[in-house]
Amino acid sequence: MKFLDQAKIYVRSGDGGDGVVAFRREKYIEFGGPDGGNGGKGGDIWFEAVANLNTLIDFRYTQHFRARKGGNGSGSDRTGAGADDIVIQVPIGTQIFDEEREVLLADLDSPGKRILLCKGGDGGFGNASFKTSTNRAPRRADKGWPGEERWVWLRLKLIADAGLVGLPNAGKSTFLSVASAARPKIADYPFTTLHPQLGVVRLTDTEEFVLADIPGLIEGAHEGAGLGDRFLGHVERCAVLLHLIDGTAGNVVDAWRTIREELDAYGGGLSEKPEIIALNKIDAMTPQQIGTRRRALERATGKPVVLLSGATHTHVAETLRLLQNAVHEFRRG
């Protein structure tokens, strides 16, 4: 299934049904009087977060949602039928913005959470509703109230406990495949993942968390270079970031600073999130290279640096335990 994390759609609730002018005329009944019924209510537009979706790809092919109009009233004081509501199902973590993408209308961040976005129009009154002691035969009936319409943007922010960040070819996909049952594309040539991947890391029967592999950033991503920063929104909800650095790629300090600058430029609180720094691919380095580059990173970051190799599974379990502890601390609040 193709991944899509934002979409623009049009929604319109149904108009209310019209009231009618009708009079009761039956044999042997001298004074029938007005009996025009009211119109029915138009259908509402609801959004609901469901657990079995993880992409907005459906909205690439269906972009217009219109609820039906309520039924018109009829004689014998019969009210028109109310129209069915439309419930639009979206993945957990979907945010709904206005057309200008400036106002957040809803954040569906938990299973079953619902929001009424467009309310259906009320039905109009039939002439029976206007009967008074001085107006015994009203010939007035109201039209139904119009529904609401708007264009909205849907933006998906994956619900993940921990996020993997780093330059392209830092080994994030390999680490995710080793740590979980996820099977992202992995190759022996330089390339970058084109869309986020999720994997569930299960340490024990009672300890598990969701790990997200975010497509690799490059310098200038916040200005649109490469894939840009559009995928960084997926780590806004993470409790901790695992910053993987390719130890074989030269200046590891520059690699770390490049990502940190992009996180700072993006904003959204990413630069303040707890960060675990890992020097990856130690299986392809000499002990002297490992020691030198680790010390350089620790001096530049002021934090301890974890050594690991996703390819050989070296120290992967210890790194996952650090992530689990950070997630547990975040959940405790």
Cβ neighbors of 245 (< 8 A, separation 6 or more) are 166, 167, 170, 252, 255, 256, 277, 278, 279, 280, 297
Q: In whole angstroms, how far apart are CA 259 and each of 31, 179, 242, 305?
A: 84, 23, 12, 16
Residues annotated as binding site for Mg(2+)?
A: 173, 193
Which of 25, 22, 36 has the alpha carbon at shortest distance from 125? 36
Strands in the chain per DSSP E: 6-12, 45-50, 64-66, 86-91, 94-97, 104-108, 114-118, 149-156, 162-165, 197-202, 208-213, 240-246, 275-280, 305-307
Cβ(231)–Cβ(168) under 8 Å? no
Q: Measured between alpha carbons, how far is 241 from 274 in angstroms, rounded to an integer?
A: 6
Residue 119: which residues within 8 A CB-CB, separation 6 or more? 13, 44, 147, 148
- Cβ contacts of residue 147 below 8 Å, gap of 6+? 12, 13, 14, 15, 16, 42, 43, 67, 118, 119, 120, 121
Crossing angle (nearest 10°) for helices 172-179 and 316-332: 80
Helix, strand or coil, per DSSP, at residue 114: strand
CA 81 vs CA 11, 118, 189, 217, 259: distances in Å: 22, 19, 63, 54, 58
**CA 306 – CA 283 distance, rounded (Å):** 14
| Binding-site positions | 166-173, 191-195, 213-216, 280-283, 309-311
Pick from 259, 291, 284: nearest CA to 163: 259
- Annotated binding-site residue numbers for GTP: 166-173, 191-195, 213-216, 280-283, 309-311
